[in-house]
Amino acid sequence: MIELRHQPMELRLRHTFRLARGDSDARQNLVVELEHEGLVGLGEAAPIARYGQDQASAARAVETMVERLNERAINPRHFATAAQSVAVEGQPSATAAFDMALRDLAGKRLGAPLYELLGLDPTATPVTSFTIGMDDPETVVAKVREASRFAVLKVKMGSAGDRKVIEAVRSVSDQPLRVDANEGWTLGEAGAHLAWLADKGVELVEQPLPAGRIEEMRQLRAMSPLPLFADESVGVAADIPKLAGAFDGINIKLMKCGGIGEALRMIATARAHGMQVMVGCMIESSLAITAAAHLAPLIDYADLDGNLLCVNDPFAGATVEGGRLVLPSGPGLGVQRRSTEDE
């Protein structure tokens, strides 16, 4: 007998989160629990409004998926494909939550952490960046000072004040930078910004142009002094072949691709096309961040800081030490609920 539970989760942000498409002070996510023979698998959906998802649609999708599930899928031998086999079209964040819960449950049944089931070395993890959202220069300076313990900063751009933001960061920090334009530039603006950013200690730039402008991206990449990574232009593995030659790498997000199974296919596809790999996130608790972090030994760059931007994370899992991701050793995802006093 499979028992499903889900409950809403509001994550409150430490600072108003601003990017080229808008801003927010909280995010409405969904926690999923799958119980089978006394063990509980945990998963999290962080619905993406840009793709027509919200907390309610994710909950409906999860309920539909459990109706389609059977006892065979709960067997650890089948967990790798179970979530995709019952997925609801247009609801990848719900599929990701279900996938996490099934993998967590399988790991708990086998008494092994997910990275061990995947055959990965938990110590071979990259540093993770810490995101600085768009804001006025004074607030940006305060955010950068708060983030001094992180090895790399990721700065959101895509507005009229882009260069002032970078100058504000550089006024108080010499940390390596990554930039995410969130589709906010034209081809001409991107060309000018990239040349300027190359002199500011920037390592790479994500999604400089709107998704779909692949031919313009090919032109931009040919002149860019910096590596360019696809974010909004890529969702699943099937999207990757057409991006080869237009981007140097891809940013994988579990909430866009539908979970770890598809993320693994994306990594393999990107490598086959000579592309680098980053794993990123939405605003998520330590539950979903930890699930993504189990893939960290396979990637070049990590941007797994969504939990660190929140003031009420109800879970404990992967941590950051010396800027580097540290995976928990418990079975499954290795995530634990915090007590109310710990939040």
> pLDDT by residue (tens digit) across 92-114?
999 999 999 999 999 999 999 99
Do β-strands 276-279 and 301-302 pair in parallel, antiparallel, or remain unpaired?
parallel
Q: Classify residue 274 as left (phi > 0), alpha (psi -120 to 50) or beta.
A: left
pLDDT for 21 beyond 90: no
Query: Residues 140-156: pLDDT tens digits?
Result: 999 999 998 899 999 99
Place of tokens 């964040």: 93
Per-residue model confidence (pLDDT) at position 69:
80
Over residues 176-200, mean pLDDT: 95
Q: Within 13 Å of residue 205, how many CA atoms lie on the same side as its CB?
A: 30
d(CA 41, CA 335): 10
Q: Which two tokens stand for residue 338?
A: 């915090």
Report residue 135's pLDDT band, with 50, 70 and 90 as the boundaries.
confident
- Structure-derived torsion over alpha carbons of residues 17, 22, 27, 28, reported in degrees to the nearest 10: 180
Place of tokens 């006025």: 136
pTM of the model: 0.94
Residue type at position 312: N
Residues 6+ apart with CB under 8 A from 340: none
Residues 6+ apart with CB under 8 A from 310: 11, 12, 13, 14, 283, 285
Per-residue model confidence (pLDDT) at position 20:
53
Query: Residues 303-341: pLDDT tens digits?
Result: 999 999 999 999 999 999 989 999 999 999 999 999 865
Per-residue model confidence (pLDDT) at position 341:
52
Does domain 117-342 fall into CATH 3.20.20.120? yes
> Cβ atoms within 10 A of the Cβ of 75, count?
12
Q: 155: burial class by Cβ within 10 Å (0-12, 13-18, 19+)?
A: buried
Over residues 80-101, mean pLDDT: 93
The backbone torsions φ and ψ at residue 74, rounded to the nearest 5 degrees and listed phi first, read -75, -20
C-alpha angle 331/337/343, rounded to 5°?
A: 145
Per-residue model confidence (pLDDT) at position 343:
47
Over residues 267-285, mean pLDDT: 98
Which CATH topology does 3-111 take?
Enolase-like; domain 1 (3.30.390)
Per-residue model confidence (pLDDT) at position 19:
56
Over residues 276-297, mean pLDDT: 98
Q: Within 13 Å of residue 256, how many CA atoms lie on the same side as its CB?
A: 22
Least-confidence region, from 14-23, 192-201, 234-243:
14-23
Residues 6+ apart with CB under 8 A from 210: 183, 232
pLDDT higher at 77 or 36: 36
pLDDT for 342 beyond 80: no
Domain boundaries, the chain: 3-111, 117-342
- Structure-derived torsion over alpha carbons of residues 242, 246, 252, 258, reported in degrees to the nearest 10: -20
Output the average pLDDT for the chain: 93
Least-confidence region, from 68-82, 176-190, 289-303:
68-82
DSSP string, 98-142: HHHHHHHHHHHHHT-BHHHHTT--TT---BBEEEE-S--HHHHHH
Under DSSP, the state recorded for 280 is: -
